[in-house]
Structures are given as C-alpha cells and as structure tokens.
Amino acid sequence: MKLIKLMFKNAFRHKLRSFLTIAGIAIAVIAFDILRTVVNAWDAGIEATAANRLITRQAVSFIFPLPYSYRDRIKNIEGVEQVTFATWFGGVYKDKSNFFGRLAVEAETAFDIYSEYVVPPDQLEAFKRERNSCVVGSDLVKLYGFKLGDIVRLEGDIYPGTWDFVVKGIYTPNIKNGDATQMFFHWEYVDERMKKESPFRAGEVGWYIVRIAEPNRSGDISAKIDDLFKNSSAETKTESERAFAQGFMSSVSSILTAMNVLSWVIIGIIMLVLANTMIMASRERTKEYAVMKVLGFAGKHLSWLIIGESMVIAFTGGVVGILLSFPIVQGIGEAIPKNIFPVFNLEYHILVYAFVAALLVGLISSVFPIIKALRTPIVEGFRHIG
Amino acid sequence: METLIHVNAVSKMYKRDKFEIPVLNDLTLQVPEGKFLALMGPSGSGKTTLLNLIAGIDRPTKGSISVKGTEITSLSETALAKWRANSVGFVFQFYNLIPVLTAFENVELPLILTPLSKAERKQHVETALQIVGLGDRMDHYPKQLSGGQEQRVAIARAIVTDPILIVADEPTGDLDKHSAEEILTLLERLNKEFKKTIVMVTHDPHAAAKADEVLHLEKGELA
Ligand SMILES: Nc1ncnc2c1ncn2[C@@H]1O[C@H](COP(=O)(O)OP(=O)(O)O)[C@@H](O)[C@H]1O
Ligand SMILES: [Mg+2]
C-alpha cells in the first residue's frame, strides 16, 4: 500500500457526499462551458471581420439607404482598392421561422471583397452570368437541402412580391467563425424590378463595403469618404468592419459582461462547495490525522494526503463536466437558430480554462484543512469529539 | 536492568483561555528496560498526560525526558516524529484504526515511512498479524472485526516497526472481560517473549496485576 491508496479511499469514504460534490463541480464546469461558448459565439462575429474592409453606411441610421451613385465616387478615392455594396432584402422563405441573411449584392465584386466566402470558379461564373441566380452558404445547404439548380422562392416584404432565385453557387467560409448561413443574389435584378414597380426606390443600396490597400489607413480613408458626402442629402458614416461589428454588438455588451462575470462566479461557488466538503472531511478525520502523526507521518505527508483527496474530487468533477459539456453544448448549438449564432463551438481553450479552474479549486480548497491539520497538536487531535 | 526511560522533574501545565491547569507536578520516574509497568490512578490524575510525554507526542512544561539515551524533550518536531516512528508503539483505548484500510493496510501504515521493499513490508505485516493471532483476518476492515480483534490489529500496528517501547493507554478499557484477558496475555507475551518495555495506563486492578510493577498517580504526583 502507498499513501496514494489512502488518498483515493479518503476521497470516496462518504460515497454520497463525494458524489454530490463531484456532481456540483461537473455541473459548474458545464455551466461555465456554456456561458463561455455563448460569449465566444458573440465574439466570433467580431473576430471574423477583416482589417482591410470599411463599411460605409447612412450617417443617421443603418436602415436608410445610400444612392448607387456613391459607388464610383468612393472607388476614386486614393487608397481604395475595391468597392462593393449590399442591401438587406428581408423576405420570407416558406415560413417566418426560416430566418437567414438574404442580401442583394453586386454580383461582379461581392465575392472579390468577401474573399473568405469561397465559391468554386465555375459556379461563380454561372452566378455572375445569370441575373436571377443566387449563391447560398454551405450551412443553408445542410439546413434546407438546397442543390445547384434549385429555385429558392422568397416572399418579399421590404421588396414586395414573389421572388424566385436559382441556386447557381454554394459558398464555404475558409476562415474560422465564418458565417455560412447567408444567401446572396443580384442587386441589379432587384433594382430592375423596383424601377418598374416603385421607381422612387430604385437606385438605392444598403451600405458600401470598401476594401483598402493599407489597413492602418482605415481612419484616414474613412474620413475622406465621409467628407466627400458632407452636406449632401445622404451623409455617410464610415468605419472599419470591426468597429462596425463591435458597434452592432454594443447593445448586448452588458449581457456579455454579465455572462463573463457569472462564469467566474460559478467557479467561485464550486470552490465553496468543495472547500466545504474538504473542511467537513478533515474535521471528521482530526483523530486519524493525530494517529498518523503519532506513527511518525510529518506535515508534508498529511498535506499531500489532503491535497490529493481534494484533487481527486476536483479532477473527477472536472473530467465528468468536460465530457458532458460536449453533447450539451452541441445540443444547445443545434437548438439555437443558426442565424443567431452562426458559430457555436465548444472551444479547446474554454475546456482548458474550465479544467484548470477545477484543479485550482481543488488546490485552494485543501489549504484550510491542511493548515488546520498541521496546527492541531496531537493531544488536541485525540481530544477532538466527532 | 538498565534504565530505559528517565523522567526528570517533569511538570506539565495546560493553558485553557486564561487559566493554567497544572497536571503533572515535578515528577521524577525511571523505567528499567524490559519492564512491564502499570500506571493507575483516578480519572484526571494525569496518567494519559504522563504517557504522552514519555511517548514523545507532547512536551513537558518543565523538566526533561530521555529514552534510551535520547533526550526527546530537546528534539525538533521532525526529529521527534522520526524517533516516534522508530522507537515507540502505541495502543489506544479506542484502537484508532483507519476505517477505510484493511487490517493488513492498517498494520502496514507505519512501514510506509521506512525504506523497506514491498515484499519486506508484507513479511513484517504478516508476522505482526500472526503474533496477535489474526493471520486469517488480514483483508478484513475494522468494522468487520470485534473490539478485541481491532485492538489486536492495533497492537500489531504498534509492534510492526519493532520498537523498544510500547505505550498503552487503557488498552482494555473498552473491551469485555474475555477480550481484555486476550489483550493482557498478548501484552505479557510481548514483554516476556519479545522483551518489549511496556508502560500501560489502566483503571482495572486485574489488568495492573499482570504488570511487574504498579505505580499510582494522584493529582499529578506519584503516590
Ligand atoms: N490538551 C489538554 N488541554 C487542557 N487540559 C487537558 C489537556 N489534556 C488533559 N487535560 C487536563 O489534564 C488533566 C489530566 O488529564 P489526563 O492526563 O487525561 O488524565 P487521566 O488520563 O489520568 O484521566 C485533566 O484535568 C484534563 O482535563
Ligand atoms: Mg486518560
């Protein structure tokens, strides 16, 4: 027998208590993993932005359109490499609950600027050629079973009427956290129809996406763009794609902060749970520790015995929690509509955090019992009742 | 016989809050090697305290104690712990076995601190358990044993390191007559056959009668 055997036996001496403590730690680890994954999913939107892209939108609000005529004027600004634009189409696909991003874009340039959305060259050519075609994300293919040649029918709301688009391409993001749940089609096709049906709304685009050659000049070029349209009927606000995404997120940022804090509060709570278990266990063993000291065991032996016991419980709870986190986080990810969190993955670093936190909790929980065990004189230990 | 234990003018006081409780008062005592000594006296007279001092698990307030030439009162905590592990075997009234360890493992516990190999430890443990007559109960847990058997395991644990001195604090205090008799016979045998010096605290005159000599403690002094 080695001391380590006694350590394991001690850890499971009170089966129910150990089980409840381990379950507590496991649940906390799972809760931590879920919260961090949600926070991460929000952040993913920001991380997926590119440093060399600017967004130019209407100065007053994102919902007001900009004239199509701005396109060439922006393109002529020194430092601008490429310009494209997009318009939020809205609409309904079969049912209101099928919510995914539908954007009318400039077919010629869209995938040039959104180079992280990869479309096979032949499909891209076909898309550019046919004005009523569309490109859909690979996640939409999984979700709705879209195939090349399928017709996707949208009922317009912002753009009234029935709209049919032929799937000519499927894009796959080649970056981590890329959003594969969008549908792109020709702005020209939409605008053509607007010219006929509601001419006063023709020639409008939602926002411009500007690619610049030098990312470190984004402030300077943004200012140049905005200056260009100063005092016009549609003033612009230009910022980097990242700043834009962050601004978009700021409405939820306090919730994210709360989740962040909460995830650590949970770690604090399991610390208390385990510390309580360890203190109870050590108190019950006061006499045994006295016996061991009588037999010649020193402070270091007792310290390892107590740390080890605490770590066995923390480790088991941590491992169980992590193993259960996978199916649970995945289940939640599947239950949440794709468009809310295009990316909902339990990331490696979250698991490492959770596991290290569990082990630290184990370590810290043993401190007080160790101090107590070492400080109690043998004769006091024997006089201990209980 | 040579003197094994010297207790020189030892006083012991316990502090409780502001009060100082004098327990032992300028006590001097010599125990020859090979002796089976019984300590009797009313409850609270300081028997356990004296035994603890001799065994090096407590320190006197005044005076000194030496055992086989080692002045244990001047040893550091670590040195004292080592000395205890090598030189003293303990038997308590309530056995104090570790409930999650088998009889074998309980007896093996003090050997973990020695450099003995696994095979050597096994041999020592089996010998000790055979001496106390529990060679067939090695895999039993304390709760599967009777009180008398538990105390015999405790005695095996006390002798497994082959100490020169065995201290026993009311070893039969919690046992029925028959089991008590077995324990006393065992202690006698350890004294006579294995030449262990034994200091035993007891309330029971019958138990004391087994000893070579009986000392009476009264209010912290030998009477
Ligand atoms: N650790 C201690 N702290 C305070 N008082 C103690 C302690 N140990 C013993 N005493 C007191 O010392 C006296 C003698 O105790 P003890 O040696 O256990 O007596 P005995 O074993 O003869 O019954 C008692 O009054 C007891 O309350
Ligand atoms: Mg006593």
DSSP characters for A315-327? Answer: HHHHHHHHHHHHH
Cβ contact (<8 Å) for A13 and B90? Answer: no
A321 plus A203 within the same structural domain:
no
Say how many Å lie between the CA of residue B25 and the centre of ligand 2: 17
Q: Show which of A204, A233, A262 is a domain's final residue.
A: A233
Distance from CA of B156 to the nearest CA of A (A): 13
Pairing of strands B165-169, B3-16: unpaired
pLDDT at B172 over 70: yes
Indicate which CATH number applies to the domain containing B112. Answer: 3.40.50.300
**If you take atom 10 of ligand 1, which residue's CA is the nearest one?**
B14
Cβ contact (<8 Å) for B96 and A1? Answer: no
pLDDT in tens, B173-221: 889 999 999 999 999 999 999 999 999 999 899 999 999 999 999 988 8
Cβ contact (<8 Å) for B81 and A6? Answer: no
Distance CA A67, CA B147 (A): 96
B14 assigned to some structural domain: no
Distance CA A164, CA A190 (A): 11
CB distance B51 to B201 below 8 Å:
yes
A320 plus A375 within the same structural domain:
yes
CA atoms within 13 A on the CB side of A354: 32
**What one-character-per-residue DSSP string does B116-170 give?**
--HHHHHHHHHHHHHHTT-TT-TT--GGGS-HHHHHHHHHHHHHTT--SEEEEES
Say how many Å lie between the CA of residue B47 and the centre of ligand 1: 8
For an interface test with B, the pick among A3, A292, A294 (most B C-beta atoms closer than 10 Å) comes out as A294
A345 assigned to some structural domain: yes
Distance CA A52, CA B86 (A): 76
Provide the 8-state DSSP code for B2.
-
DSSP, collapsed to helix, strand or coil, labels residue B88 as strand
A59 assigned to some structural domain: no
Say how many Å lie between the CA of residue B210 and the centre of ligand 1: 26
CB contacts under 8 A, B 39-78 vs A, are 52, 55, 57-58, 78
A287 plus A205 within the same structural domain:
no
Pairing of strands A161-173, B197-201: unpaired
Domain count, chain A: 2
CA atoms within 13 A on the CB side of B99: 10
Atom of ligand 1 nearest to the CA of B43: 23
A209 assigned to some structural domain: yes
Name the region of A119 (left: φ>0; alpha: ψ -120 to 50; beta: rest).
beta
* pLDDT on residue A1: 65
Pairing of strands A53-58, A236-240: antiparallel
Ligand 1: which of B12, B21, B92 to mutate, judged by most atoms within 8 Å of the beta carbon? B21
Computed over every residue of chain B, the mean pLDDT equals: 94
| Minimal Cβ distance to A1: which of B82, B90, B105 | B105
| Minimal Cβ distance to B85: which of A9, A296, A379 | A296
B204 assigned to some structural domain: yes
CB distance B208 to B47 below 8 Å:
no
A191 plus A108 within the same structural domain:
yes
Q: Show which of A201, A233, A265 is a domain's final residue.
A: A233
A147 plus A226 within the same structural domain:
yes
B171 assigned to some structural domain: yes
Q: Containing domain of residue A294, as a range? A: 2-46+252-383
Q: Scanning every residue of chain A, which has its alpha carbon at the shortest distance from the alpha carbon of B108? A: A1
Say how many Å lie between the CA of residue B53 and the centre of ligand 1: 12
Residues 6+ apart with CB under 8 A from A88: A102, A103, A158, A206
B70 assigned to some structural domain: no
* pLDDT on residue A342: 67
**Tokens 């075997």 sit at which residue?**
B89
Atom of ligand 1 nearest to the CA of B52: 17
A320 assigned to some structural domain: yes
A240 assigned to some structural domain: no
- Please check whether residue B109 touches A, CB under 8 A: yes
CB distance A82 to A156 below 8 Å:
no
Distance from CA of A297 to the nearest CA of B (A): 7
B137 assigned to some structural domain: yes
Strand order in the sheet with B70-71: B19-32, B3-16, B62-67, B70-71
A129 plus A91 within the same structural domain:
yes
Ligand 1: which of A379, A380, A384, A385 to mutate, judged by most atoms within 8 Å of the beta carbon? A379
Cβ contact (<8 Å) for A377 and B58? Answer: yes
Distance CA B193, CA B214 (A): 20
Distance CA A321, CA A26 (A): 4
Distance CA B63, CA B46 (A): 16
Distance CA B176, CA B170 (A): 13
A25 plus A126 within the same structural domain:
no
B17 assigned to some structural domain: no
A264 plus A323 within the same structural domain:
yes
Say how many Å lie between the CA of residue B206 and the centre of ligand 1: 24
Cβ contact (<8 Å) for B86 and A296? Answer: yes
**Tokens 């405790």 sit at which residue?**
B154
Q: Containing domain of residue B104, as a range? A: 34-41+75-222
pLDDT, averaged per 10 consecutive residues of chain A (386 residues), comes to 89 94 94 90 74 90 90 94 94 89 95 94 95 95 94 94 96 87 95 92 94 88 94 91 74 80 89 90 93 94 95 95 93 75 80 90 94 93 79
Q: Show which of A180, A201, A233 is a domain's final residue.
A: A233
Q: Which residues line ligand 1 (CB under 6 A)?
A: A 379-380, 383; B 14, 16, 21, 23, 41, 43-49
A329 assigned to some structural domain: yes
Phi, psi (rounded to 5 degrees) for B68:
45, 45
B136 assigned to some structural domain: yes
Domain count, chain B: 1
Distance from CA of B112 to the nearest CA of A (A): 7
- Please check whether residue B21 touches A, CB under 8 A: no
DSSP, collapsed to helix, strand or coil, labels residue A139 as helix
A52 assigned to some structural domain: no
Cβ contact (<8 Å) for A9 and B101? Answer: yes
